[in-house]
C-alpha cells in the first residue's frame, strides 16, 4: 500500500513540530548553552525540512497516483484479516503472558496463527505444543530467561 | 605474540567452536530461505548471544552473517529469488545459467569466490584496522562527531532509492535514540512519565521488529515469493574450480578490492558492493554482450565483492565504532553489551579480543566451503521448508527474544511497534538501515557534540581548529554540499 508522499510528509511535519515544541520544555543545564533540548530541536528542524520536500514531491504526483494506491493484499479481505490476527496475537501475548504463563499463551497463539496460515488441522496442536516446549526449553532451561509460569506455577520446574 | 596465543586459546574452546558451527548452519538456513535476510539472521541471533561469553557471541555473529550472505546465492541461482538483498545484483545471471544447465558451475563459483572474497576482506581487516587504530588514538570528541556525521551521511546518500526518504529514516532513528534519561544532561526526554521509557528504547527489540517482524507481516500478507518449482543441482560442484580461478582471478581480485572498500565506507554494505561490482565487471569485460545470458564472469566479480564487503565493514566498526552497514550496526550494539567497547583503545588494552575476531573470520570463511557444499546439496529440502510453520515459529522467537533483554513485556511492545513501522516504511520506499544506524549512533553523536561544544565554549569554530577535525569536517560538508550543488546545477541547465 503506497501512501502519497504528501500525506506521509504532512504526518512527519506534524511530528517534527510536536517534537520541536516539546523539546523547548526541557530544562537547561545552569550555565550551559547546550543542554538536553539542542539535539531534539535539530532533529525536528531536519525532519521538518525533509517533510516539506516530501510534501512538495507528493503534490506533484498527486494527479497520477491519488492519495493511496492499494497493493493487491490491501484489497484481499483474507490477507488483511491474517495481518490483523497476527498483530492481535502479539498484543495478546503482551497482555496475557504474565497472568496466563508462557506455555499456554504461546500454545494458543501458535494454534491460531497456524490455523490462519493453513497448516493441516490435525498437525496444528502437535506442532504448536512441540515448538512451544522447544522454545521454552531453549530460553528458560538453557538461557535462564525467567519466562512467566502464570497458571502453571504449581507445576513449575 | 602473547596476544595471538591468547586469542587462539580463546577461539579453540569446545564451546566456542560448537557455537560457530551451529551459527554457520543457522546462517546457511536463513540465508537460503527466500524472504529471510542475512540481517534478519543476525537480528534473530542477538538475543541468544546476549547470554554467551563475548568471543562466542562475536564468533556466532561473524559466522552467521558470512554464511547467510553466501547462502543467499542458492535460491537466487535455483529459483531466481535472491535469498538476501546482497545476491540480488546477479540473480538473473545465475538463474540464466541454471536454465542453460550450468547450475552447478554457478553455485560452485559462488561458493569458491565467496570464500576467497571473505578471506580477502579479512586480510584487509587484519592489516588496516590496527594501523587505522593508531591514527584514531589521536581523535578527540571533535573528530568523532565528524566521523559519526560522515557515517550517517553515507548511510543515506549511498543507499539505493530516494535520498530524502533515507534522511527521514535516519531522523526517525536519531529521534528514537533521544528517548529516555541517557543524555549528557540526564534529563528525561519523551518519556511521558513512563518508567519503561526512562531506560530508552532498547535497540535489540527495535531491530528485531524492523528486520524480522516486518518480514513476517509481509509473509502473512502473501507477499513472499513462491518457491514450489525448485531444481536441485546434481553434478559435482568442485569441477572446474582451477580453471575458473585461472581464467577469472583478475575479476575476483577486482571484486575483492572494490567490495572491501565499499564495505569499509560507513553506511554501504554487501548489497551495494555487489551491484557496483557487477556493473564494473560488465564495463571492463572483453565480452560485455554475454552479460545477462548466463555468463559466469559478472557473478564471480560480484559474489567476491559482497563477501569481501563483510570484512571491510568491520574496519570502521572496530576502529571507530562507526558501523559499515546494518549488520555491523547490530554488531556494535552487541560489542557494547559485552563490554568490548569498539574504538582504538581496544587494540591496545585487549588485543587478544581483536585477534580472536580475526581468527573467527578466517575460520568462518574456510568452514564455508564444506558447509556451503552441504547446503547446496540439500537445497531442494531447504527451499521446501513449510513457511507457514516457519514464520509463526520465528515470530515466537522474536517475541521471546525481545522479552529476554530486560525480562519485561515492554520489549515485546517495542518490537511490535517497530515491526509495524518497518513494514509501513518499506511499503513506501523508506530504507530501514538508516533508522538502525541512527539508533546506534545517535547517543555517540549527541555526546560528542555536547562535549565538543563545552570544550570550545560554545564556538562552532572549535570543530575546525584541530587539523584532523578540520579535514574530516571539510570532507563531511563536501559530501553534503556536492550532491546538492550538482542537483541544482543540472536543474538550472535543464
Say what the ipTM of the complex is. 0.94
| Residue B333 to residue B289: CA distance in whole angstroms | 45
Number of other CB atoms surrounding residue A144 within 10 Å: 10
Q: Which residues is A87 bridged to in the sheet?
A: none
Of the partner residues A47, A53, A131, the one whose CB lies closest to the CB of residue B396: A131
Q: Which residues is A2 bridged to in the sheet?
A: A69
> In this structure, are strands A68-69 and A2-3 parallel, antiparallel, or unpaired?
antiparallel
Establish, for the pair of chains A and B, how many residue pairs have beta carbons separated by less than 8 Å.
150
DSSP H or E stretch at residue A97: helix A77-100
Best of A51, A78, A100, A113 to disrupt the B interface (most B CBs within 10 Å) is A113
- B214 contacts on A by Cβ (under 8 Å): none
CA distance A121 to chain B (A): 12
| Residue B408 to residue A156: CA distance in whole angstroms | 19
Using alpha carbons, list the distances in angstroms from residue A20 to A43, A45, B53: 8, 7, 42
What is residue A26's three-state secondary structure?
coil
- A118 contacts on B by Cβ (under 8 Å): 388
φ/ψ region of B193 (left if φ > 0, alpha if ψ in -120 to 50, else beta) reads: left
- B189 contacts on A by Cβ (under 8 Å): 23, 26, 36, 40
pTM of the shown model: 0.87
Residue with cell 559530501: B479
| Residue B176 to residue B449: CA distance in whole angstroms | 18
CA distance B393 to chain A (A): 7
| Residue B180 to residue B273: CA distance in whole angstroms | 36
Nearest-Å Rg of the Cα atoms of chain A is 24
CB-CB contact of A7 with A65 (8 Å): no
| Residue B472 to residue B142: CA distance in whole angstroms | 9
CA distance A122 to chain B (A): 13
Number of other CB atoms surrounding residue B339 within 10 Å: 9
CB distance A39–B413 less than 8 Å? no
Query: What share of residues in chain B are helix, strand, coil (percent, to 5)?
Result: 75, 0, 25
| Residue B260 to residue B124: CA distance in whole angstroms | 8
Q: Which three cell numbers stand for residue B58?
A: 562475536
| Residue B450 to residue B330: CA distance in whole angstroms | 25
Using alpha carbons, list the distances in angstroms from residue B180 to B175, B190, B201: 11, 7, 7
**Counting Cβ atoms within 10 Å, is residue B373 exposed (0-12), middle (13-18) or buried (19+)?**
middle
Using alpha carbons, list the distances in angstroms from residue A140 to A129, B131, B157: 16, 44, 43
CB-CB contact of B320 with B148 (8 Å): no
| Residue B153 to residue B151: CA distance in whole angstroms | 5
Q: Which three cell numbers stand for residue B405?
A: 533483554
| Residue B32 to residue B375: CA distance in whole angstroms | 8
| Residue B414 to residue B400: CA distance in whole angstroms | 13
Q: pLDDT digit of tens for each residue in chain B (494 aa)? A: 677 888 888 889 888 999 999 999 999 988 888 777 888 888 888 888 888 888 888 889 989 988 888 888 888 888 887 777 788 888 888 888 888 888 888 888 888 899 999 999 999 888 888 888 888 888 888 888 888 888 888 777 766 667 889 899 999 999 999 998 877 777 888 888 888 888 888 888 898 899 889 989 988 888 766 666 666 565 677 777 888 888 888 888 999 999 998 888 776 778 888 888 988 888 888 888 888 888 888 899 999 998 899 888 888 888 888 887 778 888 888 888 787 888 888 888 888 888 888 899 899 989 988 998 888 888 877 777 888 898 999 999 899 989 988 888 999 999 999 999 999 998 898 988 888 888 888 888 888 888 888 888 878 888 888 888 888 889 888 888 887 888 788 888 87
| Residue B265 to residue B253: CA distance in whole angstroms | 19
DSSP class of B137: T
> Which B residues 162-201 touch A at CB under 8 Å?
164-165, 167-168, 171-172, 174-175, 178, 183-185, 187, 189-190
CB-CB contact of B47 with A147 (8 Å): no
Amino acid at each position: 500500500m503506497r501512501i502519497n508522499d504528501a500525506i506521509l510528509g504532512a504526518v512527519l511535519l506534524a511530528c517534527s513540530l510536536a517534537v520541536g515544541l516539546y523539546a523547548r520544555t526541557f530544562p537547561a543545564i545552569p550555565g550551559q548553552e547546550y543542554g538536553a533540548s539542542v539535539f531534539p530541536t535539530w532533529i525536528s528542524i531536519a525532519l521538518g525540512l525533509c517533510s516539506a520536500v516530501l510534501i512538495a514531491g507528493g503534490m506533484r504526483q498527486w494527479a497520477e497516483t491519488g492519495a493511496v494506491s492499494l497493493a493487491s493484499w490491501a484489497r484481499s479481505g483474507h490477507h488483511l484479516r491474517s495481518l490483523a490476527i497476527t498483530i492481535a496475537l502479539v498484543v495478546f501475548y503482551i497482555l496475557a503472558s504474565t497472568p496466563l504463563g508462557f506455555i499456554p499463551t504461546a500454545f494458543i497463539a501458535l494454534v491460531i496463527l497456524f490455523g490462519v496460515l493453513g497448516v493441516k488441522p490435525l498437525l496444528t496442536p502437535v506442532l504448536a505444543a512441540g515448538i512451544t516446549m522447544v522454545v521454552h526449553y531453549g530460553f528458560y532451561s538453557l538461557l535462564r530467561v525467567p519466562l512467566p509460569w502464570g497458571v502453571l506455577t504449581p507445576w513449575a520446574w | 605474540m602473547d596476544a595471538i596465543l591468547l586469542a587462539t586459546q580463546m577461539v579453540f574452546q569446545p564451546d566456542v567452536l560448537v557455537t560457530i558451527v551451529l551459527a554457520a548452519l543457522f546462517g546457511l538456513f536463513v540465508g537460503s530461505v527466500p524472504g529471510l535476510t542475512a540481517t534478519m539472521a543476525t537480528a534473530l541471533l542477538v538475543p541468544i548471544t546476549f547470554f554467551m561469553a563475548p568471543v562466542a557471541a562475536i564468533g556466532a555473529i561473524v559466522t552467521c552473517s558470512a554464511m547467510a550472505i553466501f547462502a543467499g546465492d542458492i535460491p537466487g541461482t535455483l529459483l531466481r529469488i535472491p535469498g538476501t538483498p546482497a545476491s540480488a545484483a546477479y540473480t538473473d545471471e545465475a538463474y540464466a545459467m541454471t536454465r542453460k544447465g550450468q547450475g552447478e558451475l554457478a553455485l560452485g563459483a559462488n561458493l569458491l569466490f565467496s570464500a576467497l572474497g571473505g578471506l580477502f576482506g579479512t586480510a584487509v581487516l587484519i592489516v588496516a584496522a590496527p594501523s587505522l587504530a593508531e591514527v584514531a588514538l589521536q581523535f578527540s570528541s571533535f573528530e568523532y562527531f565528524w566521523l559519526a556525521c560522515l557515517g550517517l551521511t553515507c548511510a543515506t546518500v549511498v543507499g539505493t532509492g530516494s535520498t530524502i526518504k533515507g534522511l527521514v529514516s535516519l531522523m526517525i532513528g536519531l529521534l528514537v535514540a533521544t528517548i529516555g534519561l541517557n543524555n549528557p544532561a540526564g534529563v528525561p526526554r519523551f518519556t511521558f512519565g513512563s518508567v519503561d521509557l526512562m531506560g530508552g528504547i532498547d535497540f535489540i527489540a527495535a531491530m528485531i521488529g524492523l528486520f524480522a517482524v516486518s518480514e513476517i507481516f509481509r509473509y502473512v500478507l502473501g507477499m513472499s515469493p513462491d518457491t514450489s518449482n525448485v531444481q536441485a543441482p546434481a553434478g559435482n560442484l568442485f569441477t572446474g574450480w582451477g580453471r575458473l580461478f585461472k581464467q577469472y582471478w583478475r575479476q575476483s581480485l577486482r571484486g575483492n578490492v572494490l567490495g572491501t572498500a565499499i564495505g569499509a565506507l560507513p553506511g554501504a554494505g554487501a548489497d551495494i558492493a555487489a551491484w557496483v561490482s557487477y556493473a564494473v565487471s560488465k564495463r571492463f569485460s572483453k565480452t560485455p554482450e554475454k552479460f545477462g545470458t548466463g555468463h559466469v564472469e559478472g557473478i564471480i566479480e560480484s559474489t567476491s565483492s559482497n563477501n569481501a564487503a563483510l570484512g571491510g565493514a568491520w574496519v570502521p566498526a572496530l576502529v571507530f565504532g562507526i558501523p559499515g552497514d546494518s549488520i555491523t550496526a547490530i554488531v556494535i550494539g552487541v560489542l557494547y553489551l559485552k563490554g568490548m567497547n569498539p574504538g582504538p583503545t581496544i587494540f591496545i588494552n585487549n588485543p587478544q579480543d581483536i585477534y580472536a575476531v580475526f581468527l573467527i573470520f578466517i575460520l568462518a570463511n574456510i568452514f564455508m566451503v564444506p558447509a556451503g557444499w552441504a547446503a547446496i546439496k540439500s537445497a531442494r529440502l531447504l527451499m521446501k521448508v513449510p513457511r507457514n510453520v516457519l514464520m509463526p515459529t520465528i515470530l515466537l522467537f522474536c517475541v521471546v527474544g525481545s522479552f529476554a533483554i530486560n525480562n519485561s513485556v515492554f520489549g515485546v511492545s517495542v518490537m511490535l511497534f517497530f515491526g509495524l513501522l518497518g513494514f509501513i516504511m518499506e511499503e513506501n520506499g523508506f530504507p530501514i538501515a538508516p533508522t538502525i544506524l541512527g539508533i546506534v549512533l545517535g547517543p555517540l553523536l549527541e555526546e560528542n557534540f555536547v562535549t565538543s561544544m563545552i570544550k570550545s565554549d560554545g564556538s562552532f569554530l572549535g570543530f575546525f581548529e584541530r587539523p584532523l577535525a578540520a579535514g574530516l569536517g571539510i570532507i563531511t560538508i563536501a559530501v553534503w554540499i556536492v550532491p546538492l550543488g550538482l542537483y541544482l546545477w543540472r536543474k538550472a541547465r535543464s
